[in-house]
Structure 1
Amino acid sequence: MAMGLFRVCLVVVTAIINHPLLFPRENATIPENEEEIIRKMQEHQEKLQMEQLRLEEELSRLEAEKEALRQEEVEDQQQQEPHTTWDLWSTLCMILFLIIEVWRQDHQDGTCPESLGGDEDELSGLGGIPLLGLSLPNRATLDHFYEHCIRSATGDATRTREFVEGFVDDLLEALRSVCNRNTDMEMEDFIGVGSMYENWQVERPLLCHLFVPFIPPEPYSFHPEFWCSSPSVPLERQGYGQIKVTLADGDPLGCICDKTKLGEDMLCLLHGKTRGTWPGSSGRNGEMENLLCSRESSYLDTMQVMKWFQVALTRAWHRIAHKYEFDLAFGELDTPGSLKIKFRSGKFMPFILTPVIQCDDSDLYFVTQLPKEPCMGAPASSTDWPLSFAVYERQFLRMTAKALPEGACHLSCLQIASFLLSKQSRLTGPSGLKNYHLKTALLHLLLSRQAADWKASQLDVRLQDLLCFLERSLLEKKLHHFFVGNRKVPKAMGLPEVVHRAEPLNLFRPFVLQRTLYHNTVNSFYEMLKNTPTLISEYSLHVPSDRASPPPKTVAL
């Protein structure tokens, strides 16, 4: 009985599938004349009639079998259930097979390859090669390259840090001595951040980046207001915040210039050299005063803070310049806090001092600008302060290193990738891909892979993983910030809860808005991949002398 039902179902399904009105063939051609159409319809009608006769005969036979099965029902009662189950499964499998076959026939000619990201018109113009086809040098070549071109070039990093830190200590102490403790900012001890303090810097000359936290004098206080990622926050302001200046008792913000005697050339928190006026008033020549707060606002202005900081540094250096046998000058004009020690021999030592404001009691800091690492869009206004997770990044790398095997290759992978990116930038010019993106990709890989995967013997494999991760992120135009909205970050890091709960922040969002930048970046990345085997092989033979590009213009203090 069950076998008969199966056959009936099979015939019915076959007839339905072959019905031209229900499942027309995509590759069917239109007959050239009406006679051909009529002839085919007649042939099809004859087939349907024959099929109908066969079905009627099958139903008659089934009726006869039904009578016979009634007599054997008692004898086969114990065996009927397993056979029925088997026949049912066979029927379902056959029907499923037929459905899959129909779907395959309907879609095999129309299936398009899945795009990894971006529009087709964007990716069609990218002359890249798939990363899976890239052949990296073997581990022995990578190890030799790392020892001769990277480790040897950064061997004096410790001495550089000690020299710069000693000088900055003296400079900040002089800065505190020239400031009025009652009306001026109070500078705290510096904090080392960036690749120099994370032990993966490659580019020469070695560059120390130091945060200098500052707090307002009494009775003022800072109240940070920051946004990480939220539907209510415009895209161009995600990752930024504002800093409101208030009185400690909550009274309306006012100036205390007239209440405290200021020395010559002292800068009040709210005013410049001309005192006794409030934001919006005019100075002696009708010019607006140099305020640290934005005009007509109680929010700190990044540009005004940097001007104040540079004036204070200049006065501090003039106080201690007689103690040193070198000169101090401002470095790159487009990098806030960029300074350069110029020795009489002609050599120079750059470093960066950035005034920052701590966000509550966390290790999150507001900075005036993120130097050379435009991981976000330009700020909407000068009262928007970028958020820096540099201290958290350094802490995470240190915490992770304790769990990794001895001599782990994670920093070596980052150094090699940074070296390749630096050389490619010199060949084809800078692109939208920065060292900060490389580090972010490494942090994601460290969190997703087991500690044993980072043994020194896995250098070539992990470097391949890092480059694959970057390629996929570029094609998808999506690289999430490691901390913002990443719920996999350990709670021990002590991130603010609002950062932990935020929506992920896409560092590659500028590529979505700027097609030209995106095309140049992807092309430059694939060009770097093509040059990688040759570049590593060539640099493994000898260390070139082009360690640094020509020094930028400087301004003496």
Structure 2
Amino acid sequence: MAMISFLFVAVMYVVQHLILVSDRMDLDTLSRSRQLEKVMIEEMRQLELEFEERTREEEMQQAVWKPIEIEEENHQETEEKNSKENNVLSEDSEKAWAFQSERPKGPLGWMLGNLWNAGLFGLFLLFELLRQNMQHEPAFDSSSDEEEEETTGETVTTCSWLSDFPKQEDLDSFFEQNLQSTTRDLPSTCEFVESFVDDLVEACQVLGRREIHPQLEDCLGIGPAFEKWGIGQDAHRFEVLVPISAPQSNSFHLDMRTMESGLLRCGRVVVESECVCKREKLLGDVLCLVHHWDHTSGGKPTNTLKSNFCTGSTLDVYKTLYWFRSILGNAWALVAHKYDFKLSLPPSVTSCKLRLDYRSGRFLLINLVLAVQRDDSLVYFVSQSPEHDKLTSVDWPESFAACEHLFLKLVGRFAPEKTCHLKCLQIISYLQSLKAPPHGLHQPILTPYHFKTALMHLLLRLPLTDWKPELFPQRLQDILWYLGRGLQERCLYHFLIGNTFLPLTIPVPKNFRSAKPVNLFRHLELDSAAHSKAVTEFHDLVTQVKSLPGLPLSGRVM
């Protein structure tokens, strides 16, 4: 039994080790292999217990029958020998019983005694190998079989596309020539942008100290530039969250709703008055909007926040942005003497963008996004909305940018030095920008956010040590493979919603971890034309990646 256990554990280790070494297998089964290992260990324990019970039963049977044999032998010795035939029959019966009670010794006897366990062990290995082949080999199969095409749809790519993938030297050389110069000064620029916006917010707080309006909180940089993977135009464009909270005697309450597409989630910020009678009596610096009556006019005091910033009782996005843009102009007048650039606010109703023009001709674009925090998490409802969704002025789309920024920041803190995960995303974004249509035309289906989502999933599935610089080509292949498989299956799950592997250090609402996963490719299930276009875009990107060593530098995005 000890030998069977040793062989079982050894073969299981070899099988599972092969899964971990292979990149293709590891991406699909890393989460399942742990559960399978626990199940196999439990089954092994049950088999050991069953074998021990059977051994004890056989020993007990032998112990019961042995005294009977001794009694028969004594009885035969005391009896008189009646005839020669009876003696022969007695000897034959004893020999027959001896053969039944004794077992053959040696390897043959061991195999016969453990035949059942060996057969079960062989069946398990056969089943395991067949299961792995059935689950993983067809992921990128380019077979022309009609039944395969009916079940999986249009194949995204072929199995041979990785054969002539660029080597590490080619990828490093391309990155140094095209991307390294644009990202060298990005961290210091991001630090300046955050400090500048903080300066403006402090000036706004001074100007509006005596007025009842949303309170501005400390800002937070988000997006590609602050996540250190921005390239090209992203190196000049920065996005900053400016959280707002309710002023005294008011509170914000969120009402959730989901758009028809099922992907965009919005919240409506309901403004409610709070009782501050105790503060009114003690300090007299506020007026209770719930219980204070104006005896001269015979009515309740009006809520300035509701009348100036709301539609009904719901905080209006456009009214809040209009107030914020107006107060920013006055705040700039207080701090302009500290800086040597010109600030301008291009006219807009749905956004608040700042343009910083230096004397050298350099410029920076800063998009300020007002945000309402959801509970104590890093999930916000923001003041900007995607253009393709028809939202009203009281809809605040849900944003996970702060959570994703924190996750990538933690990865950078605990990962080995000079990891390649951001380089992979930068190269993909750069190649996508080379073929991006002008603004206003039909935009591509695949965006850098889809590849960023694939990267974040892989960062959870693979150890951080697997993102060392020398593994640059393999990890770039993994990202493309992960998204290509998602296109083929028309399924790419949101990184934060329904992700049970999400670290507890990422502050998200409690129901997020147990929620049903959200498919970012759900619209591709409903629109075959969009899916075909996305597949074409993916094929073009793979072709660009494979031609990186010879890609002309004239298409650089500065």
TM class by smaller structure: 0.5 to 0.7
Distance (Å, rounded) in 1 between the aligned partners of 2:354 and 2:159: 40
Name the residue aligned to 1:246: 272
Name the residue aligned to 2:221: 192
- Whichever residue aligns with residue 426 of structure 2, its letter is Q
Q: Rate the CA distance shift 1:458–1:237 in 2: closer, same or farther, 3 A.
A: closer
Contact 1:139-1:460 within 8 A present in 2 as well:
yes
Equivalent position SS for 1:487: coil
Contact 2:321-2:349 within 8 A present in 1 as well:
no
Greater RCO structure (CA 8 Å; 6+ sep):
1
Distance (Å, rounded) in 1 between the aligned partners of 2:407 and 2:238: 19
Name the residue aligned to 2:419: 408
Contact 1:424-1:528 within 8 A present in 2 as well:
no
Q: Rate the CA distance shift 1:335–1:160 in 2: closer, same or farther, 3 A.
A: farther
Q: Does 1:112 align with 2:142?
A: no
Q: Does 1:348 align with 2:363?
A: yes
Name the residue aligned to 1:293: 310
State how 1:277-288 maps to structure 2 within 5 Å. Answer: none
Name the residue aligned to 2:298: none
Contact 1:484-1:499 within 8 A present in 2 as well:
yes
Contact 1:255-1:270 within 8 A present in 2 as well:
no
Q: Give the Å deviation of 1:226.
A: 3.5
Q: Does 1:462 align with 2:498?
A: no
Q: Does 1:361 align with 2:376?
A: yes
Q: Rate the CA distance shift 1:416–1:334 in 2: closer, same or farther, 3 A.
A: farther
Structure 2 residue runs without a partner (length 5+): 1-92, 104-108, 124-143, 278-287, 296-302
Give the TM-score normalised by the residue count of structure 2: 0.64
Q: Give the Å deviation of 1:313.
A: 2.2
1:130 to 143, 158, 161: 158
Contact 1:359-1:366 within 8 A present in 2 as well:
yes
Identity of aligned residues (%): 33
State how 1:256-335 maps to structure 2 within 5 Å. Answer: 268-272=304-308, 292-294=309-311, 297-321=312-336, 324-330=339-345
Q: Does 1:142 align with 2:171?
A: yes
The two structures, once aligned, show a CA RMSD in angstroms of 4.3
Contact 2:264-2:398 within 8 A present in 1 as well:
no
State how 1:41-120 maps to structure 2 within 5 Å. Answer: 112-113=147-148, 117=152, 120=153
Q: Does 1:498 align with 2:511?
A: yes
Contact 2:252-2:269 within 8 A present in 1 as well:
yes
Q: Does 1:419 align with 2:430?
A: yes
- Count of aligned positions: 418
Distance (Å, rounded) in 1 between the aligned partners of 2:540 and 2:349: 28
Name the residue aligned to 1:287: none
Distance (Å, rounded) in 2 between the aligned partners of 1:504 and 1:522: 23
Q: Does 1:451 align with 2:481?
A: no
- Whichever residue aligns with residue 156 of structure 1, its letter is D
Name the residue aligned to 1:181: 210
Structure 1 outlier segments of 4+, above 6 Å: 74-79, 250-256
Could you report, residue by residue, the CA deviation over 1:107-141 in whole angstroms, capped at 9, with x for unpaired residues?
Answer: xx997116675xx4xx38xxx64364143211001
Name the residue aligned to 2:24: none
Name the residue aligned to 1:214: 244
Q: Rate the CA distance shift 1:131–1:193 in 2: closer, same or farther, 3 A.
A: farther
State how 1:19-58 maps to structure 2 within 5 Å. Answer: none
Q: Rate the CA distance shift 1:318–1:115 in 2: closer, same or farther, 3 A.
A: farther
Contact 2:343-2:354 within 8 A present in 1 as well:
yes
Could you report, residue by residue, the CA deviation over 1:447-497 in whole angstroms, capped at 9, with x for unpaired residues?
Answer: 011222111100000000001111111222211111111111112223221
Distance (Å, rounded) in 2 between the aligned partners of 1:166 and 1:518: 43
Name the residue aligned to 1:397: 408
Distance (Å, rounded) in 1 between the aligned partners of 2:444 and 2:261: 22
Equivalent position SS for 1:479: coil
Q: Rate the CA distance shift 1:167–1:405 in 2: closer, same or farther, 3 A.
A: closer
Q: Does 1:521 align with 2:534?
A: yes
Q: Give the Å deviation of 1:403.
A: 3.3
1:480 to 493, 498, 523: 493
Q: Rate the CA distance shift 1:199–1:332 in 2: closer, same or farther, 3 A.
A: farther
- Whichever residue aligns with residue 158 of structure 2, its letter is P
Q: Rate the CA distance shift 1:131–1:422 in 2: closer, same or farther, 3 A.
A: farther
Name the residue aligned to 1:17: none
Distance (Å, rounded) in 2 between the aligned partners of 1:474 and 1:253: 55
Q: Rate the CA distance shift 1:327–1:514 in 2: closer, same or farther, 3 A.
A: farther
Distance (Å, rounded) in 1 between the aligned partners of 2:100 and 2:213: 98
Q: Does 1:547 align with 2:537?
A: no
Contact 2:250-2:274 within 8 A present in 1 as well:
yes
Distance (Å, rounded) in 2 between the aligned partners of 1:421 and 1:352: 22
Contact 1:238-1:505 within 8 A present in 2 as well:
no
The answer to which of 426-435 and 345-354 deviates more is: 426-435
Equivalent position SS for 2:189: helix
Distance (Å, rounded) in 1 between the aligned partners of 2:207 and 2:241: 20
Q: Rate the CA distance shift 1:493–1:324 in 2: closer, same or farther, 3 A.
A: closer
